Amino acid sequence: MKLVTPLDRLTVSRIPSALEGKFYLGGPYEFAEMLREPDEYGDEEIDWRKVQIAPVNGVQMRSAQVDVTCGHHHVKPGAWPGDPAQVSYSMRYLYRDEFNSPILGVVQLKVAHEVHGVRKGFKTQCRKAIHAVYVKPSSQGMGIARILLSEVLDDAPDVCVHPQFSEDGARLFGFDLNGSRG
C-alpha cells in the first residue's frame, strides 16, 4: 500500500499551463459522465492502486482506491512525408473510498507522443496535460482532487494543465478569475 500526501495549494499552483499566457474561464462544467465505470466508459486498461492517505489539516489517515485507466490509442500519420506521426490517448485517475465502491472523483490526463523519423532512428516528444478535474458535489471538501493530482504528478512530473477552467478549477490551480497566478 502506497502512502499518498494530498498536494498543498503551492504545489498545485506550480503545475505549469499547457498554453503559457492563455486563460479561459467558463463553466460551470459538468463532468459527471466521467465518473462512469471503466467498462462503461470504454477504457482498455486499468491499474488498481490501494493507497493510504496521509493526515492533513486535521483529517485522519484513511485508505482509498485509485484506479488509473487508459482509453483507446489514436494514431495520426504525418500529413506529408517527413512530418511527425502522433499517438494520443486519454487516461483517467479515479478515486473511490474502497474497491468496487462508487467513483467520487476523476482527473483526466491527455497524453500525446510525436514520433519523428530521423537519420538512423527516431526522435520522440511527449506532452501530458490535465484536461479535467471533477469531484462529485457531495464529496467536495475532502481533498479528493489534491489526492488524485498527487498521483498524477507522481506518475508524470512533467505534466501541465490545460488553461480552461470553471471558477472552482481556476482557484484549485492558483489562478484568480482574471487569469493571474498569485
Range in 29-33, 110-114, 160-164, 174-178 with the lowest mean pLDDT: 29-33
pLDDT in tens, 85-105: 999 999 999 999 999 999 999
Whole-prediction pTM:
0.91
Return d(Cα 142, Cα 117) in angstroms, integer: 47
Q: How confident is the model at residue 28 (pLDDT cuts 50, 70, 90)?
A: low
pLDDT of residue 57: 74
pLDDT in tens, 107-121: 999 999 999 887 788
Residues 124-141: what's their mean pLDDT?
Answer: 93
Return d(Cα 8, Cα 107) in angstroms, integer: 17
pLDDT of residue 81: 81
Residues 68-87: what's their mean pLDDT?
Answer: 91
CA angle 20, 15, 23 (to 5 degrees): 35
Q: Are the C-beta atoms of 131 and 152 separated by less than 8 Å? A: no
pLDDT of residue 69: 97
* Helix (DSSP H) and strand (DSSP E) numbers for the chain: 4, 10
* Exposure letters 10-49 (e unless 16+ CB within 10 A, then b): eebeebebbeeeebebeeeeeeeebbeebeebebeeeeee
Question: Which residues on neighbouring strands pair with residue 124, listed in sequence order?
Answer: 115
pLDDT in tens, 139-154: 998 899 999 999 999 9
**Which residues of 71-181 form beta strands (DSSP E)?**
74-76, 85-96, 103-118, 121-135, 160-161, 164-165
Residue 60 above 90 pLDDT?
no
Highest mean pLDDT among 23-27, 92-96, 118-122, 162-166: 92-96
pLDDT of residue 172: 93
